[in-house]
Amino acid sequence: MLQEQQELKGPGVVATVGDRSLTETLGIRPGPEATQARRRHGTAHILRHLGEMIVAMMLGMAVLGMLAQAALVAVGLDYDGSPLEWPAVSALVMAFNMSVPMVWWMRHRGHNWSYASEMAAAMFVPVLALIPLLGLGIISGDTLSGIQHAVMIPSMLLVMLRRRRELAH
């Protein structure tokens, strides 16, 4: 019976009793070294995840951008002039082009729809918040695009930090 409840694990030989670790059962807390190691691992994991998201977004800008260009040209519109004529639409298309591959990669890596949706929202919310300022003439289309790109990474980091426990697994 005792043998069924206990098993040895890993290099530090951590025993488990039932579903709880022995340190948890005895009320022993990990030392500062273990806490620092977990923090370093968590930070590295978040940075790796952010890097993966940036690569997916860049691929989306390239591949889906080419498809958007082909679609506009096919209907007789000027792709190069579209950001000047319709800056809000261009910003939303850019957010879409970056979000689709990012969400696809997150789902591929096993993240749930809730988290993937929050990351996509991090791409759209800044644009949606800035469109009224564009409409009022407070900012230009170039400013909208610049702020969109400057804010997207910090927005994604906020979502990641809010979900850091999920990212640790």
Query: What are the domain boundaries of the chain?
Result: 1-30, 39-167
27 falls in which pLDDT band (50, 70, 90)? low
Which tokens belong to 47? 């940075």
pTM of the model: 0.68
How far is 144 from 82, CA to CA, in rounded Å?
Answer: 14
Q: What is the mean pLDDT of residues 51-70?
A: 91
- pLDDT value for 85: 75
Strand ranges inside the chain, DSSP E: 6-9, 14-17, 20-21
Question: Which carries the bigger pLDDT value, residue 77 or residue 86?
Answer: 86
Residue with tokens 């009793």: 17
Which tokens belong to 143? 């400013």
